[in-house]
Amino acid sequence: MSSVATKKKGLGAHIWDYITTVDHKKIAHLYLVAGTLFFVIGGIEAMLIRIQLAKPDNDFLSAGLFNEVMTMHGTTMIFLAAMPLVFAFMNAIVPLQIGARDVAFPFLNSLGFWLFLFGGVFLNLSWFFTGAPDAGWTSYASLSLMSPGHGIDFYALGLQISGAGTLISGINFLVTIINMRAPGMTYMRMPLFTWTAFVASALILFAFPPLTIGLFFMIFDRMFSGNFFVHTMGGNTIIWEHLFWIFGHPEVYILILPAFGIFSEIFATFSRKRLFGYPSMVFATILIGFLGFMVWAHHMFTVGLGPTANAIFSVATMAIAVPTGMKIFNWLMTMWGGSIKITTPMLYALGFIPSFVAGGVTGIMQASAPLDYQLHDSYFIVAHFHYVIVGGVVLALFAGAHYYWPIMFNQMLNETLGKITFVFFFVGFHLTFFLQHFLGLMGMPRRVAVFKAGQGLDLFNFISTIGAFLMAIGVIILVINVIITAIKGVPAGRDPWEDGRTLEWAIPQPIPFYNFKQTPLIRGLDPYWIEKMDGNKEGMLYAEPLSDIHMPNNSFIPVVMSFGFFVAAFGAMFHQETSWGLYVLIGGLAITALGMIYRSVKDDHGYYIKKEDLLDDKGGKH
């Protein structure tokens, strides 16, 4: 086990290695594959919605099925696609950027992924049982408590399991960034992507518990007659909205902040300049994280909180635009006077600025409570948040995929196909969502399965649907690009963009499973650039002599523990109508408990890579 040269053969052994891995780079691959799969599922659901709304009085989907598709599209895209894809980049890049050999808790990193995956699979199994959840991705209490079948039960239990995985991962990254930075990597020398991952992890720590509480209440209301949200029994429907949005608004920043981080790296790299206004970017990131918790009730201007509460949340919502605006100007100033290279990641970054500004401006419009009263639950809202999520997060994920592909897979995606993907996706995105602002202003409500002819809504809806097909073509071309790149298998080597600034580009390719033979020494912001300018061929200085490296063992226990919750969720759901439900619930929890006990009593001290093996190793994979 200790030999670096150990190579496992065969597909089965390779799959087993991924199932049991605790290596952050392989877990990044797992998040990338799972997140992409759910992204495609969510995209298919989006296409079904747009086909249904392509023409008036359409009967392509029934009203009930439309509600299910629309609910699952939103839930899948936010919880099961955007979140894991953000975690894919955090896992792949953050430990490398801060000079760490792994995350603080490799076992928990694996557990976080498998909890997310089992929760996501559980949620999507709802299609094959009594129907998917149908109360919208926000699952407002009155609707969700009245919803027949088990759809909402799948929603509550699936998100509970998945959310536990996200919470674990967030805590893990907080500890990693606080404790595992290389010598010299002060907070004000951390790359911007690490900073945004750090603040996003802090947001996860504080935002996910309210969701957990809300979902517990909903589970108890639906399965154990808890009456937390039933107003006839002394409950309060609005409490669900508060709990959901106390989570739901920071969730937007949990997604967008790492996106900002990816773009900050891209702007600096392809402008061949230090990021302009680095301290103010850090300050803005922290401020966005802080203010993100102050604005949740702007989703609730129409519930009757009263003018004082509405005014406070209006002002807070307007205030959060300031740090975001600071970022926009800093990115523009980074490019100003820079030696700009138009690569595929840079194209996405350039497209992101006007798209995200448009989403931000419509957000500020809705910060005005009287205007929001008119726009609420109209297609204007749909247009606004898609400009933020697609124009911000999805463009960043595509940009990050092209930019970081060489680090994750030691290959370069085809630039020409990348640019074609960008054109199709970007044009399709604006075609789909820009006109939806006007549909909203013309009075089209969200979440309606059918609109009537003669209302003036036909043309814009039809154009939206065409745009959605263009986006789908873009995604298909990206998939083709990935397949072609994998088949060709041309190694990218170190620093393939030639202008890498941060530590991850200094590591020899393919990246060894232990990341760094010796802990690097950081002399300033953009450490790799500093070493390059000083003519250091190695690309980094070292803070320690070469010595034995301690590494953790792989483990199958995270899969077992996650599977136990998966089984228990079925038991909880069916316990009222079947005799075996309670036994399945107890059995599932027992599987998880046994996994935890085994983990507690088994002494797993990992293993050491000997210094001699390191000298022999030429950077091979484990």
Residue 562 lies in a domain: yes
| Shared domain check, 140 and 46 | yes
Q: Does residue 507 sit within a domain? A: yes
Residue 201 contacts residue 174 (beta carbons within 8 Å): yes
Residue 535 or 353, more confident: 353
pLDDT of residue 237: 92
pLDDT at position 4 is 43
Tell me how far CA of residue 207 lies from CA of 73, 155, 231, 243, 562, in angstroms: 22, 18, 26, 9, 22
pLDDT of 601 > 70? The answer is yes
Mean pLDDT of 79-108: 94
For residue 215, which of 259, 262, 248, 168 has the smallest C-alpha distance? 248
Q: Can you give the pLDDT at residue 537?
A: 83
pLDDT, tens only, 139-150: 999 899 988 889
Strands 549-551 and 607-609: antiparallel
> Do residues 469 and 580 share a domain?
no
pLDDT above 90 covers what percent of the chain?
78
Number of domains into which the chain is organized? 2
Decide if 492 is inside a domain: yes
Q: pLDDT per residue over 356-382, tens digit each?
A: 999 999 999 999 999 999 999 999 999
pLDDT band at 282 (very low <50, low <70, confident <90, very high): very high
Question: Beta strand pairing status for 541-542 and 520-521?
Answer: antiparallel
Average pLDDT, the chain: 92
Which pTM was predicted? Answer: 0.94
Let me know whether 532 and 572 are in one domain. no
**pLDDT at position 535:** 85
Q: What was the pLDDT predicted at 434?
A: 96
Answer whether 400's CB lies under 8 Å from 192's CB: no
Query: Among 354-363, 430-439, 489-498, whose mean pLDDT is lowest?
Result: 489-498
Q: In terms of residue numbers, what domain contains 569?
A: 557-603
d(CA 178, CA 186): 10
Same domain, 561 and 421: no
Q: In this model, does residue 602 exceed pLDDT 90?
A: no
| Cα 391–chain centre separation | 14
Residue 290 and residue 329 share a domain: yes
For residue 226, pLDDT over 80 is answered with: yes
Same domain for 342 and 290, yes or no, is: yes
Phi, psi of 520 (to 5 degrees): -75, 160
What is the reported pLDDT for 492? 87
CATH of the domain at 331: 1.20.210.10
Same domain, 478 and 565: no
Residues 364 and 332 placed together within one structural domain of the fold? yes
What's the whole-number mean pLDDT along residues 584-613? Answer: 90
φ and ψ of 445, to 5 deg = -75, 155
Q: Say whether both 471 and 597 belong to one domain.
A: no
3-state secondary structure at position 315: helix
| pLDDT tens-digit series, residues 182-208 | 999 999 999 999 999 999 999 999 999
Is the peptide bond preceding residue 406 cis, with omega within 30 degrees of 0? no
Question: What is the C-alpha to C-alpha distance for residues 344 and 490, in angstroms, rounded to an integer?
Answer: 18
> Looking at residue 576, what DSSP letter applies?
T
- pLDDT at residue 619 tops 50: no
Grade residue 135 by pLDDT with cuts at 50, 70 and 90: very high
CA dihedral 181, 182, 188, 189 (to 10 degrees): -130
In a shared domain, residues 486 and 398:
yes
548-569: pLDDT as tens digits: 888 899 999 999 999 999 999 9
Same domain? 183 vs 228:
yes
* % of the chain residues with pLDDT over 70: 98
Does some domain include residue 420? Answer: yes
Mean pLDDT for the stretch of residues 340-349: 94
SS (H, E, C) 351-396: HHHHHHHHHHHHHHHHHCHHHHHHHCCEHHHHHHHHHHHHHHHHHH
Task: Give yes or no for residue 112 having a pLDDT over 70.
Answer: yes
Number of H helices, E strands in the chain: 22, 4
Q: What is the pLDDT of residue 3?
A: 41
User: CA torsion, points 37, 38, 40, 42, in degrees to nearest 10?
Assistant: 170
Answer yes or no: is 78 within a domain. yes
| Helix, coil or strand: residue 292 | coil
Would you place residue 618 in the very low, low, confident or very high pLDDT band (cuts 50, 70, 90)? low
Please check whether residue 373 lies inside any domain of the structure.
yes
- Whether 528 and 576 map to the same domain: the answer is no
> 617 falls in which pLDDT band (50, 70, 90)?
low
Assess if residue 231 is contained within a domain.
Answer: yes
Does residue 622 lie in a domain region?
Answer: no
Supply 56's token pair. 């008036």
Nearest to 372 by CA among 320, 456, 297, 431: 297
